[in-house]
Amino acid sequence: MNDKELKEHICKELMEMADEWESGLARWAMEHPEEDRILRQTGRKDFEGTGVAKRENMCYDKCSQKSSKEEPTMYAEFDESLVTGNEMIDGQHKELIEKINKLVACCEQGGGKLEAIKMLDYLSDYTEFHFSAEEKLQEDISYPGIEEHKKQHADFKQAVSELHEMLEEEEGPSDAFVAAVNKNVIDWLYRHIKGFDRSVAEYKNMKSQADRL
Ligand SMILES: [Fe+2]
């Protein structure tokens, strides 16, 4: 991991801990002595004594300053805007995002072609599992938009298989490959979850309420 990656990694870790900052930071420092040492050098004191929201912003600023001269790496993040309210779907989306981030991290950290193919395979396998579960749920509740939803899933699987071909043709994961992951996987997933998957969760909720009446 180079300096830039390490700092981004630290920022990401810190962001995840923002809610329990004071106690969490001490615990994190004990568990990550090397990162903590570097964080101190890069000005952890800047973060102390400010509110959580301000620290989050500072954290983002620091990360974006570090990478502003280069193409920024975009990791996917499961936030409030992606919550559908369906426990199974949300849980699987978190897992999916984790797998996407492992693929991006592998590319960013100089993982070779074989490693990237392995990560893409994990993502592809989990996607199959997740889409099947979502489609089964839609069948169970007789969701009226199932055919259009299945088509969306098929499009995504096609995009993942094109990424596979791209990797096979290259010596290793290129910047163009990472850009394609950002556009065809991360951006797509955000749009899909916010529109299609939310509709399924809302329909299921409505149906359950109606069935109780
Ligand atoms: Fe879906």
Q: Quote the ligand 1 centre to 54 CA distance (angstroms).
A: 35
Of residues 51 and 171, the one with the higher pLDDT is 171
Q: Are residues 57 and 157 both part of a single domain? A: no
pLDDT at residue 82 is higher than 70: yes
Same domain, 57 and 102: no
Each residue of 129-187: pLDDT tens digit?
A: 999 999 999 999 999 999 999 999 999 999 999 999 999 998 889 999 999 999 999 99
Q: Is residue 36's pLDDT more than 90?
A: no
Max Cα distance, the chain (Å): 62
Report the chain's mean pLDDT, rounded to a whole number: 82
- 176 and 111 housed in the same domain: yes
Q: Two tokens at 108? A: 């960013």
Mean pLDDT over residues 76-89, rounded? 94
Distance in Å, CA 86 to ligand 1 centroid: 12
Domain residue limits at 13:
3-67
Q: How many Å lie between the centroid of ligand 1 and the Cα of residue 48?
A: 41
Q: How far is the CA of 82 from the centre of ligand 1 (A)?
A: 12
Give the distance (Å) from ligand 1 centre to CA of residue 134. 6
Same domain, 146 and 55: no
CA-nearest of 81, 78, 84 to 99 is: 78
Q: Give the CATH number, domain containing residue 194.
A: 1.20.120.50
How remote is the CA of residue 132 from the centroid of ligand 1, in Å?
9
Q: What is the pLDDT of residue 50?
A: 52
Q: Is position 114 within any domain?
A: yes
Write down the pLDDT at residue 178: 94
* pLDDT per residue as tens digits for the range 108-119: 888 889 999 999
Does residue 126 share a domain with residue 42? no
Considering the domain boundaries, does residue 33 fall inside one?
yes
CA of 187 from ligand 1 middle (Å) equals: 14
Rounded to the nearest angstrom, the distance between the alpha carbon of 135 and the centre of ligand 1 is 8
Helices 146-169 and 113-140 cross at an angle (nearest 10°) of 170
Domain closes at, from 46, 67, 88: 67
Residues 62 and 157 in one domain: no
| Any domain includes 74 | no
pTM of the model: 0.65
User: What pLDDT does residue 74 have?
Assistant: 84
In the chain, how many domains are there? 2
The verdict on residue 72 lying in a domain is no
For residue 27, report the distance from its CA to the centre of ligand 1, in Å. Answer: 37
